[in-house]
Structure 1
């Protein structure tokens, strides 16, 4: 997927301009946008909770302040925050039209990250849509690239598994 498919989402396109890392994964689902976002953000199997504990230890080791494991939450299409300013764990919703895109930002001492989900209708009159999940990262200090490069392989696994759980 090229950036043109993301560029119509102003907050995502703006954040991508000076990003240190951009990752886009795509998959198909019959879900609505908010149902897809809710499913992806609710995905927290036991092994992922273990990764959160490693994350907390890693960030404390890098001197990035007190970190916590977020509470396990189950979102639904109706309960997923989608209004700018609403919180989703450590993310804050930045922009959403609730049908074709949803963008949230997380700001931490070591990096800022945006997660954007863009839905694309497929040709042929099918009710299946292609979803593009973008992760955009900007480093704030020297711990940012150290942290992100350590967790990057796990990030890819988590995003792919979370997307697959909604398919």
Structure 2
């Protein structure tokens, strides 16, 4: 199998998140392999399906560490089955679904310390690709401190999820 390239790219101007006020943004682009789905909802489910085991362990550790601060946790039992229909107000993994369109899905979570949105945008200017954009808005000093601590992991986890999805056999 050839090497899977995930590139850090500018936030896509045609994303619904481009106009979202933010203290932090990043975007990663993954060329979609031939076996990948094509619609935004199917791509979002494909990308945010089961990830590497170490990501699951990091999420469990995060939940354990933030529980005393009253932050949202994401127990595995609360996650819907893979392949469930994406609907606004529903969930995909630990994320709430905010919008579902043919080219873009917006996921995220609102909490006391920060709000974040994740866009899965399917584009095809130079071959089919998915761009996963993260936008974060801090509400207070705790949100800034929290994100400062998780940011290095965020930069490891997102590309790892994208690479893992690209390595999955046909869908």
- TM-score normalised according to structure 2 size: 0.76
Superposition deviation, residue 24 in structure 1: 0.4
- TM-score normalised according to structure 1 size: 0.78
Listed one character per residue, the Cα deviations across residues 110-158 of structure 1 (whole Å, up to 9, x for unaligned) are 21110001111144xxxx5111100100112221111111111111111
Residue 63 of structure 2: which of 45, 56, 63 is its match? 56
Residue 60 of structure 1 aligns to a residue whose secondary structure is helix
In the alignment, structure 1 residue 8 sits paired with structure 2 residue 7: no
Root-mean-square deviation (CA, aligned residues, Å) is 2.3
Structure 2 unaligned spans of 5+: 1-8, 167-171
- Counterpart CA distance in 1 for 2:98 and 2:74 is 23
- Counterpart CA distance in 2 for 1:44 and 1:74 is 14
Listed one character per residue, the Cα deviations across residues 16-53 of structure 1 (whole Å, up to 9, x for unaligned) are xx211101011111321333211221133321122112
- Counterpart CA distance in 2 for 1:66 and 1:25 is 25
Residue 49 of structure 2: which of 42, 46, 49 is its match? 42
- Counterpart CA distance in 1 for 2:100 and 2:15 is 9
Residue 120 of structure 1: which of 101, 120, 123 is its match? 123
1:42·1:73 contact (CA, 8 Å) conserved in 2? no
Structure 1 unaligned spans of 5+: none
Residue 42 of structure 1 aligns to a residue whose secondary structure is coil
Provide runs of 4+ in structure 1 moved above 4 Å.
none
